[in-house]
Structure 1
């Protein structure tokens, strides 16, 4: 049970003061609306697509389906494709799971580009 009393206020008026004021309001416990980071997701899609293309092209050179005169481009394509593919696939996965509302995944896990 809370106790109420009349207390002095800075404007020389009186107001009703509660002794059990915890300093919390109901508004601070409401979740803000979900903001989807479209720029970051589009960058992730770009990295995923270009990385996949580079990895496939590098793999085709290794297997001999593309002429071996391009073999000097083999390792840079595979390394650059891997560097682009991994973060793109990771962030697309987070965005997909956040869209499907899987527990533990949120659009807040994807960094925003400002």
Structure 2
């Protein structure tokens, strides 16, 4: 007489476990394993885009005020009309990538 086998995970004797044969059309895959989970939100990239957008906006406003002459001397003594164009250029270079990525992040939930 053979000793009865038990399922080690549950401790149930194998004589009490119900089993059935798989159909011949079943290939062992289930639909659930092919479903994709919800996409992760890239919080760091969105935060960086927001920071670039805000810094670029600040520099563009500051550069245009320097160029127009509303700000003659700021906190630093070297600010004036001769610094207006470089501040504007740097502001535009920082603003554009921030605006672009922030726009993509806003349109992403819409599809």
**Equivalent runs, 1:3-82 vs 2, <5 Å:** 26=31, 27-28=33-34, 30-67=35-72, 70-82=80-92
Indicate if the aligned counterparts of 2:67 and 2:85 stay in contact, CA closer than 8 A: no
How far apart are 1:32 and its partner, in Å?
2.2
Equivalent-residue separation in structure 1 for 2:69 and 2:41 (angstroms): 43
How far apart are 1:20 and its partner, in Å?
9.5
Equivalent-residue separation in structure 2 for 1:17 and 1:49 (angstroms): 61
TM-score of the superposition, structure 1-length normalised?
0.62
Following superposition, which runs of at least 4 residues in structure 1 exceed 6 angstroms of deviation? Answer: none
Identify the residue that residue 6 of structure 1 maps to in structure 2. none
Identify the residue that residue 102 of structure 1 maps to in structure 2. 110
RMSD: 2.5
Unmatched runs of 5 consecutive residues or more in structure 2: 1-20, 74-78
User: When you count strand as a share of all residues, which structure comes out higher?
Assistant: 1
TM-score of the superposition, structure 2-length normalised?
0.63
SS in structure 2 of the partner of residue 44 of structure 1: helix
47-56 vs 31-40, greater mean Cα deviation: 31-40
Equivalent-residue separation in structure 1 for 2:91 and 2:29 (angstroms): 50
Equivalent-residue separation in structure 2 for 1:48 and 1:63 (angstroms): 22
Q: Relative to structure 1, is the Cα distance of residues 71 and 25 closer, same or farther in structure 2, using a 3 angstrom cutoff?
A: farther
